[in-house]
Structure 1
Amino acid sequence: MTTNQAGKTEFPAIDRRRMLGCLAGGFGSVGLATMLGESAAADSSPAKRSLPHHEPRAKRVIFLFMNGGPSQIDTFDPKPELARWEGKRLPVLDQNTNKLLGKPRPLGNAFPSPWKFAKHGECGMDVSELFPHVATHADDLCLIRSMCCDSFFHAQGTLEMMTGSGLFLRPSMGSWLTYGLGTENRNLPGFVVLGNVMGNVDATKVFSSAFLPAEFQGTRLPNLKEPIPNLKSPIAETEQRAQLDVMQQLNARHLDRRADTSALNARIEAFELAFRMQTVASDAFDITRETAATQQLYGLDQPTTNDYGQKCLLARRLVERGVRCVVVNHTDWDQHSNLLAGHAKNSLSVDQPIAGLLADLKQRGLLDDTLVIWGGEFGRTPNTEGKNGRDHNTAAFSMWLAGGGVKGGHIHGVTDEFGAYTTEGRTHVHDLHATILHLMGINHEQFTYRYSGRDYRLTDVFGTVVRDILA
């Protein structure tokens, strides 16, 4: 670790390690390394990087990612004024202002929300009837109504939300966290992604470690029926260990002859991690060990909530075992038409599992130092597209955080009377990332990585910590 002339802490690439070799007997080397996302972070202790910079409020992150863009007007930002303008042209710009990477599209007429809002909790937070279960946790939610971003399309918007850049390949937020803080359990990946993103979004880029060492990219588990293929070895552990020891010499010799070792190191470490996971992961991924009451809390007994309920329950089991960052994906919130059916279906499938996760974390004493984040890559317009849909809106959308050092029952930011633009407390994605890092004990301006002649960071050259939401 060094300090440059600007006083920023620079973190060099991890030293080459002579890790134990590739798995033999029952594991396909290339397939398993790819499945694991080549993510181990097994030797990435905070002490090696002098982190955290300050006392952290959160130790781990769960990002409940609603890919496609939920409508803020129909969920957490009520706009009753739209009812007066229904079917009329709104007194806003005649064109969608989201111009980055796309042509502006004409706006339709005003489209008031078809769902009712009510106040919840002691804080009196307005929440749509789409989220009756989440609404019971209003006093735990820190709602940001003034989010904004730059990228208009889903691929770029998702990339921006996860990496800070919608145009260039950058490390995912989970990669930055595991690179900087390591993992509390070297027998499990430090950064796990549950479920798929939208089909037009490249998950290999969104959850990539980019120029950070390859071992820190996300471990993607799209299939919960068999999250870790080939987890059990057909041979005895002692025999498998002996095979690995023999392969160590070959891998070390192969590694010595190659200058660029990041990907090769990651692959070798993934094999070793897989060996350790044979005992630990079987327990971590076995949600049948939970009580019937806990499974019902997450909605596992209902077909509409079973899938996302399993993901949320697994996220809790992973973070309590030391995984640093878990992204729990849900698609598809992209209703350009038939928003009534689409948003109703989506919210029904995630509402109870999310509320169950919050309740479960709280009763286990984990919510205080676990930061839960909910939101999509952008929001939607107050105007119609098609018969009853909404277009993308990067100028104003809602996200909420819970636990991990944020104010519960708090609302930050204000949008205009139609929900089209942010008028107070503008919070860019860069500001959100800066705040997340701050809660994890990291100064986002000092947490840099030297690559291709310059210092890179998650927030690039932007971002301000949103101190108004800090508890």
Structure 2
Amino acid sequence: MNPIHEQHLLSTRRHLFGKATLGLGTAALAGLLADDLKAETTGVLKGTHHPATAKRVIYLFMSGGPSHLDMWDYKPKLKDMFNQQLPAHVRDGQRVTGMTANQKNGLPLCPSKYKFRRYDNNQDGVWVSELLPHTAKVAKELCVVNSTFTEAINHDPAITYIQTGSQIPGRPSLGAWLSYGLGSLNDNLPHYVVMHARTNFAEQSLFNRLWGAGFLSSDHQGILMRSQGDPVLYLSNPAGVTGKDRRQQLDALATLNYEQHKRFADPEVLARIRQHEMAYRMQTSVPELMDLSMETDTTFELYGEDAKTPGTFAACCLNARRLAERGVRNIQIFHRGWDAHGGLPREHGSQCKDVDQACAALIMDLKQRGMLEDTLVVWGGEFGRTAYCQGTLTRENYGRDHHPRCFTTWMAGGGIKPGITYGRSDDYGYNIAHEDGTPMTPQPDASTWTPGTMHIHDRNATILHLLGIDHKKLTYRYQGRDFRLTDVHGHVIEDLIA
């Protein structure tokens, strides 16, 4: 869409409305605005490019880089290579971080200390380690991808890349694109909700640009739900201000903003009005949403006792299901602390305890309510971790560095094939490999798609496809260029679609 053309159209229509409503008062103006602003929630696409299998996305983001080698990608041959150097031909000159580039002990190989089991016992079955006993119970619902890859090797550009399609800040996030394209399924809640789960290892900061709207209208950005105080900032009225007072304030503010828009035709002014109206409606809808008192004991048994404590990952997952029930299009839970450069068993043990039962419970809960079939659940971090150790190495204690060349993510529901593993890595879990285990030469990149691989642009293209969107057609013209989530790359991986 051309924003200059959009401004012209909006200005002409608003100008007409302005003349027609002179002297009718604030109430009449608010009524006119309400109808027009409600129309904005349908999304720019006014539908989908093709039939969708998913209506909504719940994105479980493990910030910091969970170790695929200790959780999903079983590498038995590494057990016989303990403390041996990573062969030069495996690395093949690939970049490593400055944290391990000059290690005195080189790049010693580090097998996982954890036992693995293949679930469903078929050729495409899912390997899961003993770190995830609850998630293993829903393995038949998961589509596990062991060949996800990215070019970014450090946290901030990598997280920015997977969330927005660019390593450079300033682009809209996945949730913002979905809000812009498809709009809302509930007029009383945001299109896009973000939650931060508590963790014992909250090393990395998370910036609001990761769920921001970039150059899109600001009402497409994610709304952060807090675990303490008001779930959303300024949700409650100040002391002495009634709901009627708030309504009158918003009506007066809408009149002023409308006059501003008539003068300058800035669409962002309309976005502000929509945000104010949404905030007013949320004063009723959000308290009901966050009240878990009506949930059954059976539900809390499913999610675990942690679900009763606000801010835990389990509580966030339970709230994610409640948001999904109420029509929120995109829900994202960030869980920090997966950056295990040292003491990985201790840190990942704690992290997995945080998320394991809740991930499984979310999938089971959605399925028993008939929602999994049209809800896409996505799990993963910004990259994986290396086959070689960082720091002191013993069989029971070790650390791993960042590894973007191949790592594991998974999806479930929403039209994804269940109970399969897609793609594989070599015997070292270092490079993407062919089905026979030989490394692909050259290693794949974003410019073309190679069967059995999934670049993060391919991942985002596939997510959009499941929601009925052609990733090449959801664009926004900005500074003379048509931008999209997948930049100029991306391939829908049909092999993952049921």
TM-score range normalised by the length of the shorter chain? 0.7 to 0.9
- Partner Cα separation in structure 2 for residue 327 and residue 86 of structure 1: 38
8 A Cα contact 1:140 1:403, kept in partner? yes
SS in 2 for 1:170: coil
- Partner Cα separation in structure 2 for residue 85 and residue 232 of structure 1: 59
Q: Which residue of structure 2 lines up, in the alignment, with residue 253 of structure 1?
A: 259
Q: Which residue of structure 2 lines up, in the alignment, with residue 28 of structure 1?
A: none
After superposition, the Cα gap between the structure-2 partners of 1:380 and 1:68, relative to the gap in structure 1 and judged at 3 Å, is same
375, 382, 400: which one pairs with 1:377? 382
Q: Establish whether residue 210 from structure 1 lines up as the match of residue 214 from structure 2.
A: yes
- Partner Cα separation in structure 2 for residue 440 and residue 125 of structure 1: 25
Aligned AA (1:343): H
Q: Establish whether residue 296 from structure 1 lines up as the match of residue 323 from structure 2.
A: no
239, 243, 249: which one pairs with 1:237? 243
Superposed displacement of residue 325, structure 1: 0.4
Superposed displacement of residue 169, structure 1: 2.1
Superposed displacement of residue 225, structure 1: 5.3
Aligned AA (1:218): G
Q: Which residue of structure 1 lines up, in the alignment, with residue 30 of structure 2?
A: none
Q: Which residue of structure 1 lines up, in the alignment, with residue 130 of structure 2?
A: 129
After superposition, the Cα gap between the structure-2 partners of 1:444 and 1:11, relative to the gap in structure 1 and judged at 3 Å, is farther
Q: Which residue of structure 1 lines up, in the alignment, with residue 337 of structure 2?
A: 332
Q: Establish whether residue 352 from structure 1 lines up as the match of residue 353 from structure 2.
A: no
SS in 2 for 1:146: strand
**Greater share of helix:** 2
After superposition, the Cα gap between the structure-2 partners of 1:433 and 1:82, relative to the gap in structure 1 and judged at 3 Å, is same
- Partner Cα separation in structure 1 for residue 5 and residue 193 of structure 2: 23
After superposition, the Cα gap between the structure-2 partners of 1:272 and 1:195, relative to the gap in structure 1 and judged at 3 Å, is same
After superposition, the Cα gap between the structure-2 partners of 1:46 and 1:154, relative to the gap in structure 1 and judged at 3 Å, is same
Q: How does 1:61-460 map to 2 (within 5 A)?
A: 61-93=57-89, 99=95, 105=101, 108-121=107-120, 123=122, 124-195=125-196, 200-224=204-228, 226-233=230-237, 235-262=241-268, 264-301=269-306, 307-387=312-392, 388-424=398-434, 425-460=452-487
RMSD: 2.7
Aligned AA (1:452): Q
SS in 2 for 1:395: coil
Task: Identify which range, 273-282 or 100-109, moves more after superposition.
Answer: 100-109
- Partner Cα separation in structure 2 for residue 166 and residue 411 of structure 1: 28
Task: Identify which range, 274-283 or 145-154, moves more after superposition.
Answer: 274-283
User: Larger radius of gyration, structure 1 or 2?
Assistant: 2
Superposed displacement of residue 48, structure 1: 4.7
Aligned AA (1:108): L
Task: Identify which range, 199-208 or 129-138, moves more after superposition.
Answer: 199-208
Aligned residues: 441
Task: Identify which range, 127-136 or 211-220, moves more after superposition.
Answer: 211-220
- Partner Cα separation in structure 2 for residue 227 and residue 102 of structure 1: 40
Superposed displacement of residue 242, structure 1: 2.8
Superposed displacement of residue 146, structure 1: 0.3
SS in 1 for 2:491: coil
Deviation string, structure 1 residues 133-186 (Cα, Å, up to 9, x no partner): 000001100010000001111111110111111124211000000100001001
SS in 2 for 1:434: helix
- Partner Cα separation in structure 2 for residue 101 and residue 386 of structure 1: 13
After superposition, the Cα gap between the structure-2 partners of 1:11 and 1:42, relative to the gap in structure 1 and judged at 3 Å, is farther
Superposed displacement of residue 46, structure 1: 4.2
Task: Identify which range, 213-222 or 196-205, moves more after superposition.
Answer: 196-205
Aligned AA (2:178): L
After superposition, the Cα gap between the structure-2 partners of 1:209 and 1:306, relative to the gap in structure 1 and judged at 3 Å, is closer
Aligned AA (2:312): D
Which structure 2 residue ranges, 5 or more long, are not aligned? 15-36, 393-397, 435-451
Superposed displacement of residue 220, structure 1: 1.6
Deviation string, structure 1 residues 379-423 (Cα, Å, up to 9, x no partner): 001100012100100001000000000000011001001100111
Superposed displacement of residue 224, structure 1: 4.8
After superposition, the Cα gap between the structure-2 partners of 1:186 and 1:332, relative to the gap in structure 1 and judged at 3 Å, is same
- Partner Cα separation in structure 2 for residue 54 and residue 400 of structure 1: 24
- Partner Cα separation in structure 2 for residue 273 and residue 302 of structure 1: 28
8 A Cα contact 1:98 1:152, kept in partner? no
After superposition, the Cα gap between the structure-2 partners of 1:217 and 1:245, relative to the gap in structure 1 and judged at 3 Å, is same
Superposed displacement of residue 446, structure 1: 1.4
Deviation string, structure 1 residues 46-94 (Cα, Å, up to 9, x no partner): 4752430000000000000000000100011110111110011122458
Residue identity (%): 41
8 A Cα contact 1:231 1:282, kept in partner? no
SS in 2 for 1:371: strand
After superposition, the Cα gap between the structure-2 partners of 1:321 and 1:454, relative to the gap in structure 1 and judged at 3 Å, is same
After superposition, the Cα gap between the structure-2 partners of 1:430 and 1:100, relative to the gap in structure 1 and judged at 3 Å, is farther
- Partner Cα separation in structure 1 for residue 42 and residue 97 of structure 2: 39
Tell me the TM-score normalised to structure 2 length: 0.82
Deviation string, structure 1 residues 100-148 (Cα, Å, up to 9, x no partner): 9979825521100011101224654210001100000011000100000
8 A Cα contact 1:97 1:104, kept in partner? no
Q: Which residue of structure 2 lines up, in the alignment, with residue 38 of structure 1?
A: none
- Partner Cα separation in structure 2 for residue 452 and residue 403 of structure 1: 37
Q: Which residue of structure 2 lines up, in the alignment, with residue 37 of structure 1?
A: none
